[in-house]
Copies of this chain bind each other. A is one copy, B any other.
Amino acid sequence: MRTSYVWIPLLIAAIAVPLGFYYVDWSKSGEGAGLYSRDWSPEAIFAYWNPDEFYKSVESVVGEFSGEQCVECHQAVTPGVVNDWRKSGHSKPANNQAVVYCSDCHGNNHEDLHLPTPDVCGTCHNVQHDQFTDEKRYGFPSHSLALERAMDAKHFADKPKAEVTACVQCHSVASKCDSCHTRHVFSAAEARRPEACITCHSGPPHPDDETYFHSKHGQLYLAEGENWDWSKPLSKGNYPAPTCAYCHMDNGKHQVADKAIWKFGLKQVNPLTSGNQIRRKQWVELCGDCHEKDWSAEQLRQLDAERKLSWSKLYEAEAVLKDLRSEKLMQPSAKQRPPYPGDSPDAFLQYQRIGFFEGQASAFYNVSPIERDYFEMWYFDNLKSYKGAAHGDASFVDEGQAAMDASLETIKRNAERLRSAGEGKLDKDTEGNIWLEGEYTEYNRDHN
């Protein structure tokens, strides 16, 4: 009797597997891209930042053109572009190589132009292209995963379009070599200077701009950099002080991820794993272009100490929040907070996430004040101190630490307040409606 029921799971599988395939296909078939492609549609401008997904050629001019013809016409239409190209190695290549014309990268058919992605550049610059894509092996953060991972984030589909557009502007680095080698000069010399990185690497979550330029290295660059010979490669003895690329892309290697120990600074890492010991030696070796080994090793140890201190403060704050969660004192609670779009488990089995590991990636909005205080402590102050220590800007370390002290004290004090009956009750009675309406829940989801 029993064996005759074998057909039941088989039947279920026979239905479920095709259904699964169908569902995955369906979920990716939206107007947007990535995991939540059905929950958002792209703005026209996304075409320039993610051309593989969204670019459609402008059909302004009909016909096929040779490279010389492109140049001739665009000299009048967009002279800035052609002036840049004339300065570039593409227009006057070394070693009897062929001139690289507009059409070599954009195509000849003006009704079917394309925007060059790293794959197009890689047909000639294959070493750099391979190094660049090799970053994917090390996971996020990485330049080559920047766009994909941004679009796969739940809050990408949830935040107002005008905000994620700003995100995509920098995350487009994955699909645009000209983020660093500005079109249409595509200069190696330009990308050796810190400004090439700074357009994106500034502001609270990654104050590389602020900390580099406040360091002795950055001040030397500011005072004297205009007289350095930027045509030289980024190697030992060529520069009086380092730039971003000198240290992070030494000898021009287009791979930033393999040497990173502390990475973005959002998670605590063990800086003494065997892998990180090797990276540490590589750093000391690199600093050794100018500094003695002992000095360099001590600088790295100071960074370890800064990280340890910051995480002791962050964990203390996190523990306060976890206690509040178990006491059900956080407002809004998971049920008062709208689930992410397309986030079915969250819609039914709601869970209050605290801290990065649990997934509080969108903690900019729709969270209680005490969670936002923690978020800002973690995402702004922690990273301020981290980058200050990493790049030699002492004042950012002290500012970041002072800000973390202030946040930690505020979090503890507000936790006591929430525990007092009066306030807790007030919140529960009156504030539930803040979260299930408002610009994020109503406006955005209608329009994204």
Contacts and interface: CB of A to CB of B under 8 A. Distances in A.
Contacts of A412: 431, 434
A78 interface: yes
A305 B161 contact: yes
Interface residues of A, number: 102
A48 interface: yes
Interface stretch (A63-71, A139-147, A196-204): A196-204
Given A223-B195, A409-B434, A412-B434, A160 B204 contact: no
A299 B46 CA distance: 10
| Main SS class of interface, A | helix
Interface string A377-393: 00000000000110010
B80 A289 contact: yes
Interface string A206-233: 0001000011100110111010000000
A426 interface: yes
A413 B45 contact: no
A443 B312 contact: yes
B80 A166 contact: no
A214 B202 contact: yes
A417 B413 contact: no
A259 to B, nearest CB: 19
Interface stretch (A27-35, A266-274, A364-372): A364-372
A306 interface: yes
A128 interface: no
Given A77-B288, A196-B223, A313-B439, 20 more contacts: A43-B301, A43-B302, A43-B305, A78-B292, A80-B291, A84-B240, A162-B305, A162-B401, A166-B397, A169-B392, A170-B395, A182-B216, A193-B223, A198-B219, A199-B215, A202-B214, A309-B439, A364-B405, A413-B431, A422-B422
22 contacts: A43-B305, A45-B299, A45-B302, A60-B293, A78-B289, A78-B290, A79-B236, A79-B237, A84-B240, A161-B305, A163-B309, A165-B306, A166-B395, A170-B395, A190-B224, A199-B219, A200-B395, A202-B214, A209-B214, A312-B443, A365-B409, A412-B431
